[in-house]
Chains A and B, each alone.
Chain A
């Protein structure tokens, strides 16, 4: 059984993440209409939104503490929110502001919040090895923290993932690999790129438990993750968790999804893990007024973060030369003319 408080707290994370993505979508399009120019507007560059992925974030991160490490891929916001990343500073980073998590140097694919041990990377599957390393550090120091590496189902064909599974299994490292299976890697449906039907089975080859959660039900994810995170924390080694999610938006902003059958997108809209969880809460006696209040609080939090971020200054051009090295050593040709 999963208690009402737990469900409610997952629901809060999920509605926050959903609303966040919906608002970022709007902010991203500011300055990009009528003509879509990727380098224009309030948020330039690529933007990968995670609407429809929330259950995988909330269900796993519900078991994590600040000292546990999470690495996320190019689609990171929902995981960051569930892990407790500072929302205003994350938003400022996405808007390229000086007070952003990374002083405007990282942007939305490269968010780092050491206060809650969160990081993400834009290169497919490359968050897996660092997660293994965080787990290694915990094991060597006899700490009971764990590491979680998130990746898409398209990323499981990448060497960095498969090598990480082996290394983690070999040393019984406290790490959980969470695959967010949204059926698509940009325009490539999963069946076009692998004959393995069930990603969880890949764990077999590494003598590691693999668990498939085949509907994006946050409670089911929560239960599977309880075992996986518990196993890791107890020193019993890694688990591969494969969670079905749905991509409710294009791969990135500007993706018209011409390659995607309408039924598939419709199905993603229909199967909404957030509504499913709302039903669960109703069964626990939470009424619609209370659900509304949760949503309104989440929306306010997001609006506050966006408003704060908009007010933040942009970095000064010369800040570009800082942080190449910790000790302030100038880049080889940095800043000189």
Chain B
């Protein structure tokens, strides 16, 4: 039986080391060990996307990644989306379009949507819905979320 493993990562651009047991998920490590509680736990089995983070350039459900797997990894979480006190256009668009109610799904949606817009600045509604199919929301009925992503895409293109 091993004891805790020393995991060295980069989280939101900063070097972060943590200790974890092999059975702990990356989600648990982020929330309970590192103290980054913006990433949420919904289902803990890969279905809801509340725990979405970017791991070495790909979005994943952090509940289905072991913390020990993150050795040497580059991780981006919801805490890294705003620049200081300036909200990201997606965050503003979610607020302005009322794309959240309880908000538990929102960090996951924003991290997912950001990775979509990073690679496809002008997605169609179909592409947005398809990309976000792995993120579930029990409150909004999705329409406002799709509108918010479209709105953010438009504003980001106007700004660039």
Decide if A and B are genuine partners.
Answer: no
